């Protein structure tokens, strides 16, 4: 990172005007690395034949005609475009302007298209785009709920490492209650309650006893993991018919919207939890940035002394918002048992809470950006399932690794130094 | 999370507690009693200090966690549930059932971890304790590595990945070369340490050079290492054993195996001696070396450290490299010490994550981490017997462990439960009721 400062000091003015342009080489470097990678993969290890993309319809939406592309030609053209774009990013840098985000996004999109064309090339089975996106959305649901909870909690000044624990607790209690009562609604409510209960532990120790929030978060994750595993093998596994057999939430197509090709079946033919997720994203965004509640929440997270001075109850605001965050994450946990799998199993969240945490930081503590980051993680995770199904040449382990490599590249290249809420992680001790 | 907030995480509990008027830190720093408030009766004062001190809090935290564990065991036990069905006609049955299941569980926990009175000789009776130390060995070194990161303000969740890479490095040296006895072992251990250090170093370099958050990077590196090792273990010519279809590595050559230090009857291997040496090394590094001083300065306040002329970036990188090397030692213990017959991709056995709890319980201090590692090793050793003998899932150990850390981190809670006196000088009674109470008292009273 270089900083150039140009001083213009007119004689008459007493104030020194300083123009600082911060140039970052990180984006061009990352783009160049990816461009070189594309040359290696798509040109040196090029594959012949054709690539077929299919766009299957849903229960209501019609199918689109399939697209057949010549693999080698498409890959080479896209690689040339990527190399040119990477070169142009250095030119943009030389002109001392920042590489815009849309530029990086277009670059990333073209790379993904090139990669899909290459991986599904050589006359292998057609690549189903609809199911690729559908799977990506399903895998993203817990990430998005987790990320929203993380954003809320951290914006109010409490680091939420306990997302993993809240997800797991939500999944467990939702499965148990829904199975015992046979009611999906009670299961959803139970997931909310479970998330709030875990949040209470976090809030009590972090806000009341000033214990380091990262410590409490990590320990809560271990506690919930141990507790759910213990109860699973001691209680649930002994009578799975009665205790661990919850009904699955049915998919509800939204009239009109669900008839749009590709987008309809992916976004608008989902279960109630996914629709609740859309509402939650919008509500958290509007609430945080356009309401009094959000202003108070953010002020408590940025500068609690100042908030206290103007009469905001810091402890109370933090406590209730951490609880609300827990409720949101708990709902995401219900998706595991009521939305996708249909029964609880040990450690079924498998570290996804930590990925949601990564989405929070990747999305710079902004609900919309965090949601997009979560979707990216979901897409990357789902990619390997789809590519394994069409018979890709890459060993499955490397495809599984891909989302994590992409995340590191993205975090190192595009996100860089991130600044969280100023008072996040610091207990507020009123004096 | 901003950098400075990260920086403070290992010490925030202390500074917060210190501000809250807690004696844990005050006892260590020796600044207990402001002179104007000294009480005349020194014995009373000493008693108050002991009762409110950190040792008692730690013991009571363990007791509390065991009580909660007992409640969980009792509530979920079918025998107790059956007896509770007719509680009002014969309550003694319920209590008897509770006593039976809980005492049985904790007896197994003790016999599996400390001393088994059922064995004829002392040598065989003490064997569970040797198992405890064996389980504790990787926990101690990994805890030291994670704790070193905490002291520099780095939150290293990447223990799993660092252990896996270290296992691959030292395992490869362990079965590929045929070297003389001592040299082979030294080279293999060194290779493991280098592997862990390299993997953690990636996170350190990225943090220092690009600002990539180490929590994200280490989590991602865990997964990358896991899939990389899984791939190599199933690829002939890489890490897979010859003529095998299983994703498993070849056995370690005898020269590279860590020797058993107390004879063949105990599993305890030379790794425990290395763990003791590592503890002393980390103590020396943190308390007596200038590099360690830089680590702590960066951990306390990176901005102040930078102003004082300390290179924050190099401190971050070196702390991750050394910490990763220590975590790598845990992988070495696993491959060259306990599972010498070849390993799979689950060789880390969750130690990378347990190490975080160990470091937290040990308050990121070398001796504390050592003791915490032995305690968790005991829970692990005893938990296996408890699962086998009493069919109580070993997961209860996770619950008890995490509760211990929670309770130790919140002394006011433990004091409130046991109605212990607050540390420090006795608050003036009935003299000045209008005096504003210190924050900790205000909070504890709420």
Range of the domain at B424: 7-29+39-122+410-445
In chain A, the number of structural domains is 2
Give me the residues paired with residue A7 across strands.
A18
User: In percent, how much of chain A has pLDDT > 70?
Assistant: 92
Asked which of A370-379, B29-38, B101-110 is least confident by mean pLDDT, the reply is B29-38
In a domain, A3, yes or no: no
Judged by CB atoms closer than 8 Å, whether chains meet at A223 and B403 is answered as yes
Kindly list the residues from chain B whose CB atom is less than 8 angstroms away from the CB atom of residue A355: 219
Residues A105 and A134 placed together within one structural domain of the fold: no
CATH assignment at residue A198 = 1.10.3470
**Residue corresponding to tokens 């919309």:** A368
Residues B150 and B200 placed together within one structural domain of the fold: yes
Q: Are strands A50-55 and A64-70 parallel, antiparallel or unpaired?
A: antiparallel
Residues 6+ apart with CB under 8 A from B57: B24, B408, B411, B414, B415
Q: Indicate the Cα dihedral angle A249, A252, A257, A263, nearest 10°.
A: 40
The per-residue DSSP string of B158-204 comes to: THHHHHHHHHHHHHHHHHH----HHHHHHHHHHHHHHHHHHHHHHHH
pLDDT for A34 equals 86
Is a pLDDT exceeding 60 seen at residue B120? yes
Residue B412: closest CA among chain A residues belongs to which residue? A209
In a domain, A297, yes or no: yes
Sign of the dihedral defined by the CA atoms of residues B203, B205, B207, B212, in that order: negative
- Overall average pLDDT of the B283-302 stretch: 94
- Overall average pLDDT of the B76-95 stretch: 86
d(CA A38, CA A107) in angstroms, rounded, equals: 12
Q: Is the separation of the CB atoms in B10 and A218 below 8 Å?
A: no
In a domain, B377, yes or no: no
Residues B233 and B344 placed together within one structural domain of the fold: yes
Residues A356 and A293 placed together within one structural domain of the fold: yes
- Overall average pLDDT of the B53-60 stretch: 78
User: Å from B252 to nearest chain A CA?
Assistant: 25
Is a pLDDT exceeding 90 seen at residue A175? yes
Residues B215 and B192 placed together within one structural domain of the fold: yes
Contact with chain B for residue A147, Cβ under 8 A: no
Question: Considering chain A, what is the average pLDDT of its residues?
Answer: 85
> Where does a domain end: A98, A124, A150?
A124
Residues A179 and A220 placed together within one structural domain of the fold: yes
Token pair for residue B319? 């702390």
User: Å from B409 to nearest chain A CA?
Assistant: 6
**pLDDT, tens digit, for every residue of B166-194?**
999 999 999 998 889 899 999 999 999 99
A2, A212, A399: best to mutate for the B interface, most B CBs within 10 A: A212
Q: Is the separation of the CB atoms in B158 and B219 below 8 Å?
A: yes
Q: Taking a contact as any Cβ pair under 8 Å apart, which residues of chain A between 21 and 50 contact chain B? A: 26
Residues A256 and A371 placed together within one structural domain of the fold: yes
**pLDDT, tens digit, for every residue of B388-404?**
988 889 899 889 989 98
Token pair for residue A193? 């309650």
Residues B143 and B61 placed together within one structural domain of the fold: no
Residues A236 and A206 placed together within one structural domain of the fold: yes
Contact with chain B for residue A212, Cβ under 8 A: yes
What is the maximal distance between C-alpha atoms in chain B? 84
- Overall average pLDDT of the B50-62 stretch: 75
pLDDT for A179 equals 92
Residues A79 and A215 placed together within one structural domain of the fold: no
Give the best-scoring range by mean pLDDT among B7-11, B157-161, B199-203, B347-351.
Answer: B199-203
Range of the domain at A54: 25-124
Number of CB pairs, chain A paired with chain B, less than 8 A apart: 180
In a domain, A233, yes or no: yes
d(CA B90, CA B98) in angstroms, rounded, equals: 14
In a domain, B183, yes or no: yes
Is a pLDDT exceeding 90 seen at residue B243? no
Contact with chain B for residue A429, Cβ under 8 A: yes
Kindly list the residues from chain B whose CB atom is less than 8 angstroms away from the CB atom of residue A303: none
Judged by CB atoms closer than 8 Å, whether chains meet at A222 and B72 is answered as no
- Overall average pLDDT of the A290-311 stretch: 93
The partner residue sitting opposite A208, judged by closest CB among B76, B215, B443, is B443
pLDDT for A173 equals 95
Residues B73 and B101 placed together within one structural domain of the fold: yes
Higher pLDDT, B43 or A140: A140
Higher pLDDT, A377 or B141: B141
Phi-psi region of A218 (alpha: psi -120 to 50; beta: other; left: phi over 0): alpha
Residues 6+ apart with CB under 8 A from A204: none
In a domain, B386, yes or no: no
Residues B88 and B137 placed together within one structural domain of the fold: no
In chain B, the number of structural domains is 2
Kindly list the residues from chain B whose CB atom is less than 8 angstroms away from the CB atom of residue A362: 216
Residues A296 and A170 placed together within one structural domain of the fold: yes
Residues B200 and B267 placed together within one structural domain of the fold: yes
The partner residue sitting opposite B16, judged by closest CB among A361, A401, A429, is A429
Q: Is the separation of the CB atoms in B379 and B113 below 8 Å?
A: yes
- ipTM value, please give it: 0.80
pLDDT for B350 equals 85
Q: How confident is the model at residue B323 (pLDDT cuts 50, 70, 90)?
A: very high
pLDDT for B28 equals 41
Kindly list the residues from chain A whose CB atom is less than 8 angstroms away from the CB atom of residue B357: 218-219, 222
Contact with chain B for residue A404, Cβ under 8 A: yes
Residues A301 and A323 placed together within one structural domain of the fold: yes
d(CA B325, CA B323) in angstroms, rounded, equals: 5
Higher pLDDT, B338 or B423: B338
Question: Considering chain B, what is the average pLDDT of its residues?
Answer: 83
Residues B138 and B167 placed together within one structural domain of the fold: yes
Residues B60 and B161 placed together within one structural domain of the fold: no
Residues B118 and B130 placed together within one structural domain of the fold: no
d(CA A361, CA B291) in angstroms, rounded, equals: 30
In a domain, A401, yes or no: no
Residues A356 and A280 placed together within one structural domain of the fold: yes
pLDDT for B440 equals 47
């Amino acid at each position: 990172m270089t900083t150039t400062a140009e001083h213009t000091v007119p004689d008459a003015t007493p104030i020194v005007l300083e123009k600082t342009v911060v140039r970052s080489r990180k984006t061009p470097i990352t783009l160049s690395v990816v461009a070189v990678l594309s040359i290696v993969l798509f040109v040196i290890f090029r594959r012949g034949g054709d690539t077929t993309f299919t766009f299957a319809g849903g229960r209501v939406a019609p199918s689109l005609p399939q697209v057949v592309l010549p693999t080698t030609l498409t890959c080479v053209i896209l690689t040339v475009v990527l190399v040119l774009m990477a070169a142009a990013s250095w030119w943009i840098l030389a002109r001392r302007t920042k590489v815009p985000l849309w530029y990086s996004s277009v670059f990333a999109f073209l790379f993904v298209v090139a990669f899909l064309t290459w991986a599904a090339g050589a006359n292998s089975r057609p690549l189903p785009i609809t199911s690729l996106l559908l799977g990506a959305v399903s895998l993203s649901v817990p990430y998005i709920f987790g990320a929203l909870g993380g954003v809320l909690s951290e914006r109010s000044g409490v680091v939420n490492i306990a997302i993993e624990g809240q997800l797991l607790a939500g999944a467990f209690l939702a499965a148990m209650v829904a199975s015992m009562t046979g009611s999906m609604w009670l299961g959803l409510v139970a997931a909310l309650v479970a998330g709030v209960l875990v949040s209470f532990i976090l809030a009590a120790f972090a806000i009341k006893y000033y214990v380091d929030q990262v410590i409490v978060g990590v320990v809560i994750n271990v506690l919930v993991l141990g507790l759910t595993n213990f109860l699973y093998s001691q209680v649930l596994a002994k009578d799975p018919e009665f205790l661990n057999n919850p009904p699955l939430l049915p998919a509800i197509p939204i009239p009109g919207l669900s008839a749009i090709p590709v987008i309809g079946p992916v976004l608008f033919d989902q279960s109630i939890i996914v629709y609740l997720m859309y509402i939650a994203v919008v509500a958290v965004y509007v609430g945080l940035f356009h309401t009094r509640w959000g202003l108070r929440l953010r002020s408590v997270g940025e500068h609690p002394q100042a908030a206290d001075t103007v009469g905001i109850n810091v402890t109370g605001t933090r406590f209730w918002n951490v609880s609300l965050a827990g409720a949101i994450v708990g709902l995401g946990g219900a998706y595991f048992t009521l939305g996708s799998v249909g029964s609880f199993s040990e450690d079924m969240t498998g570290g996804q809470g930590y990925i949601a945490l990564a989405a929070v930081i990747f999305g710079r503590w902004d609900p919309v950006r965090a949601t997009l980051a979560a979707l990216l993680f979901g897409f990357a995770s789902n990619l390997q399932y789809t590519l394994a199904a069409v018979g890709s040449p890459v060993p499955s382990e490397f495809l599984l690794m891909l989302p994590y490599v992409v995340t590191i590249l993205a975090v190192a290249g595009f996100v860089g130094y991130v600044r969280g809420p100023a008072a996040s992680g610091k207990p507020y001790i009123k004096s | 999370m901003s950098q400075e907030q990260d920086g403070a995480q290992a010490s925030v509990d202390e500074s917060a507690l210190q501000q809250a008027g807690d004696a844990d830190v005050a006892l260590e720093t020796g600044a207990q009693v402001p002179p104007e408030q000294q009480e005349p009766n020194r014995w009373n004062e000493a008693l108050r200090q002991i009762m409110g001190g950190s040792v008692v809090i730690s013991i009571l935290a363990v007791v509390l966690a065991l009580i909660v564990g007992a409640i969980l065991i009792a509530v979920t036990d079918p025998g107790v549930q059956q007896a509770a069905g007719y509680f009002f006609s014969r309550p003694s049955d319920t209590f008897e059932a509770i006593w039976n299941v809980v005492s049985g569980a904790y007896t197994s926990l003790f016999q599996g971890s400390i001393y088994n009175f059922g064995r004829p000789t002392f040598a065989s009776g003490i064997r569970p304790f040797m198992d405890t130390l064996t389980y504790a060995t990787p926990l101690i070194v990994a805890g030291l590595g994670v704790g070193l990161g905490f002291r520099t303000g780095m939150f290293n969740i990447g223990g799993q990945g660092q252990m896996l890479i270290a296992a691959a490095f030292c395992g490869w040296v362990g079965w590929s070369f045929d070297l003389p006895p001592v040299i082979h072992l030294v080279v293999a251990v060194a290779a493991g340490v280098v592997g862990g250090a390299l993997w953690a170093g990636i996170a350190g370099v990225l943090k220092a050079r690009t600002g990539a958050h180490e929590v994200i990077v280490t989590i991602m590196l865990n997964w990358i290492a896991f899939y990389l090792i899984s791939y190599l273990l199933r690829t002939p010519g890489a890490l897979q054993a010859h003529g095998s279809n299983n994703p498993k590595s070849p056995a370690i050559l005898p020269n590279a195996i860590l020797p058993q230090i107390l004879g063949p009857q105990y599993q305890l291997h030379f790794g425990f001696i290395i763990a003791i040496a590592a503890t002393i090394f980390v103590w020396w590094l943190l308390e007596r070396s200038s590099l360690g001083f830089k680590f702590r300065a960066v951990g306390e306040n990176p901005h102040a450290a930078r102003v004082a002329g300390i290179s924050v970036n190099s401190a971050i990188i070196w702390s991750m490299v050394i910490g990763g090397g220590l975590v790598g030692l845990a992988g070495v213990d696993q491959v060259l010490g306990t599972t010498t017959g070849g390993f799979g991709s689950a060789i880390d056995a969750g130690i990378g994550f347990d190490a975080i709890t160990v470091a937290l319980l040990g308050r990121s201090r070398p001796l504390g981490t050592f003791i915490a590692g032995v305690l968790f090793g005991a829970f692990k050793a005893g938990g296996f017997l408890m699962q086998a003998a009493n069919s109580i899932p070993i997961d209860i150990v996770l619950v008890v462990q995490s509760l211990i850390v929670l309770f130790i981190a919140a002394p006011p809670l433990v004091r409130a439960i046991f109605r212990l006196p607050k540390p420090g000088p006795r608050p003036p009674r009935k003299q000045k009721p209008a005096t504003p109470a210190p924050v900790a008292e205000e909070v504890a009273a709420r």
